[in-house]
Amino acid sequence: MKYCYRICLLLLLGLSSQHPGAQGLVSTEKQKPATPTAPVITDRAGNTLGLYGGMTSIRGLAGYEPGVLLITDGGDMIGATLSGHIALLERLYFTEPDCRGRRFFHPQLTGATLSYPFPGSIGQSPHSGELLQIEKYSAMQTVSLKSMFSLSNNSADCINTELKLKAWPLLPVTQQQAKQAAHIDGSPIGVMAELPAKKREQRRAKKQQQAPQDMRTTVDQAECSPACLVKDLGNGVCDVDCYLATCNYDDGDCDSLDQEVILELQQSRCAPGCELVEIGDSFCDTACNNSQCSFDGGDCSDLD
Amino acid sequence: MDNYISATRKLLLLLFFISFSHMSAAVCVQANLAGIWYLNGFSGDTLESSFLETDFCKIKINASGSILGNASSCKARVPEGVFTVNLTGGNLNLNAGCRITGRINYCDPELQQCGFAIRIDQAQLDRGKTVMSISGFDSTDTEAVVHFVGIKR
């Protein structure tokens, strides 16, 4: 459960770059050049900032709580708390710089979810619909957000804030990349598990190279009966599953044992190689997939 | 004085008996591993600190410690979905101190290639011989590790 923080998207303060009031609302103490494909946001001085995400406190239904803040293209800020509360999405537009002019709200509810944020996490901008990923293997940077926003529908005040947070750079990703990477539960948001392609390929190649030449896809050892390996016949250890004519009665390994005991043990199997406890254990067992063993309790019919 | 010696002797005998009983309970034999084991655990990459795979395995071991490939497999849950990992064989050895060592051979569903193995170097069987705790690593990629706890049915 520790790794399954599922949190609901909580709060959006949309300060679109299409509106004059949104210009120059974000600044950073450490500049980062934007990647060619990344949407661009700039600070007051016109410096390109790229996209950032990080941990901060966010006001949700339960008051302020720890959450993640993603800054997207157009100046959208997406807030999501870790508690999983569903809350109102809010959006505020200013038609003039410095929080002047018309302002209006677009409250929305969302069921979108966001995984616990760390490098590799993917989120979706509700503003543009674009999928964004916290850049993997990136160091956190201190970002200062100079914003003007209102935290709720009831507040008509323009709040000037400066929020400092540690943040990671964000990168846009395609649906396909996100699909490969994400926990898909109807949500296009998740956690990247893969390594950078090059490094991953190197490791795959190395693993393939080091694999033994034996590429059999079945089993390593032959069986004379289900659950009886030919290599273990006559090794001095009695194996009840080998005490069959087809396995030459374990090559004599069971001769010193009481025959009744062996037969009793064999009776705990509904078929050779299938113990009763294996029926319905969610694993498909070939030895159990027969009428005597109730077709493995349906374990083999669930296969894709 | 005689009574004192007798009492001391009795106490020593009692202590010896208790110690011996304790020691005998810890002694394991290979046959203790024989049976069907269900293991739950996780695997991942120590280099990347990525442990997103959880595993549920069934391993059938015969009296000699051989893993029966036809009756053993794992279900690996990763962010992309659930995959069946075919276990092709291997062996687990148990010493008198209840330490388990050996290897579990498997096919990599991603590479669609067999011949890989998890090397088990740190594992123990409990006193009741029905629970095992296993740590191991991939023999071809030592940064890939597994940790399982298993129960015997």
* Residue of chain A whose Cα is closest to the Cα of B71: A285
The per-residue pLDDT for A91 is 35
DSSP A229-283: EGGGTTSS---GGG-SGGGHHHHTTTTTS-HHHHHHHHTTEEETTEEGGGTTSSS
Low-confidence ranges of chain A (pLDDT < 70): 1-170, 175-201, 211-220, 302-304
Evaluate whether residue B6 is within a structural domain: no
The domain of B140 spans 30-152
Nearest to A219 among B58, B89, B113 (CB): B89
Is there a contact between B71 and A226 if contact means CB atoms under 8 Å apart? Answer: yes
The per-residue pLDDT for B110 is 77
Mutate to test the interface with B, among A5, A176, A216, A221 (most CBs of B within 10 A): A221
Q: Which residues of A22-50 are buried (b: 16+ CB within 10 A; e: fewer)?
A: bbbbbbbeeebebeeebbebbbeeeeebb
Q: Which two tokens stand for residue A254?
A: 């069971």
Q: Can you point out the beta strands (E) in A92-221?
A: 108-109, 113-115, 121-124, 131-134, 141-149, 159-173, 190-191
The per-residue pLDDT for A211 is 64
The per-residue pLDDT for B47 is 73
Q: Among residues B45, B111, B46, which one has the least CA distance to residue A215? A: B111
The per-residue pLDDT for B78 is 83
Residue B142: strand, helix, or coil: strand
Q: Hey, what's the torsion of the CAs at A8, A12, A16, A20, to 10 degrees? A: -170
Q: What percent of chain B has pLDDT over 70?
A: 82
Which is it for the CA torsion B39, B42, B45, B46, positive or negative? negative
Q: Among residues A41, A40, A43, which one has the least CA distance to residue A29? A: A43
Mutate to test the interface with A, among B36, B51, B85 (most CBs of A within 10 A): B36
Q: How far is CA A294 from CA A128, A226, B70, in A?
A: 54, 17, 19
Evaluate whether residue B120 is within a structural domain: yes
Amino acid letter for position A125: S
Residue A45: strand, helix, or coil: coil
Query: Whole-number mean pLDDT of chain B?
Result: 84
Q: Nearest-CA distance from A147 to chain B in Å? A: 35
Which is it for the CA torsion B4, B5, B8, B9, positive or negative? negative
Which CATH number belongs to the domain containing residue B60 in this structure?
2.40.128.120
Q: Nearest-CA distance from B71 to chain A in Å? A: 6
Question: Chains A and B: how many Cβ contacts under 8 Å?
Answer: 116
Is there a contact between B88 and A220 if contact means CB atoms under 8 Å apart? Answer: yes
Mutate to test the interface with B, among A283, A284, A286, A289 (most CBs of B within 10 A): A283
The per-residue pLDDT for B52 is 81
Evaluate whether residue B12 is within a structural domain: no
8 Å CB contact between A256 and A236: no
Is there a contact between A227 and B78 if contact means CB atoms under 8 Å apart? Answer: no
Domain count of chain B?
1
Nearest to A193 among B36, B52, B56 (CB): B52
Q: Among residues B126, B121, B117, which one has the least CA distance to residue B152? A: B126
Q: Among residues A11, A14, A111, which one has the least CA distance to residue A61? A: A11
Spatial distance between the Cα atoms of A272 and A40, rounded to a whole number of angstroms: 67
* Backbone torsions φ then ψ of B113, nearest 5 degrees: -145, 145
Evaluate whether residue B65 is within a structural domain: yes
Is there a contact between A206 and B140 if contact means CB atoms under 8 Å apart? Answer: yes
Spatial distance between the Cα atoms of A193 and B54, rounded to a whole number of angstroms: 13
Q: Which two tokens stand for residue A97?
A: 């710089």
Spatial distance between the Cα atoms of A224 and A150, rounded to a whole number of angstroms: 76
H-type helices in B60-152, by residue range?
A: none
Q: Which residues of A243-280 are buried (b: 16+ CB within 10 A; e: fewer)?
A: bbeebebbeebbeeeeeeebeeeeeebbebbbbeebbe
Domain range annotation of chain A: 6-193, 223-298
Q: What percent of chain B has pLDDT over 90?
A: 56
Residue B61: strand, helix, or coil: strand
Q: Hey, what's the torsion of the CAs at B83, B84, B87, B92, to 10 degrees? A: 70
Contacts of A278 in chain B (CB under 8 A): 36, 71
Q: Among residues A141, A3, A18, A164, which one has the least CA distance to residue A91? A: A18
The per-residue pLDDT for A137 is 62
Contacts of B138 in chain A (CB under 8 A): 207
Evaluate whether residue B136 is within a structural domain: yes
Evaluate whether residue B20 is within a structural domain: no
Per-residue pLDDT of chain B (153 residues), as tens digits, is 555 556 666 655 554 544 444 444 569 999 999 999 999 999 988 876 778 889 999 999 999 999 999 899 999 988 778 888 989 999 999 999 999 999 999 988 877 778 889 999 889 999 999 999 999 999 888 888 999 999 998
Is there a contact between B86 and A217 if contact means CB atoms under 8 Å apart? Answer: yes
Q: Tell me the pLDDT tens digit for each residue of A5-24.
A: 222 222 222 222 222 222 22
8 Å CB contact between A126 and A115: no
The per-residue pLDDT for A157 is 46
8 Å CB contact between A33 and A40: no
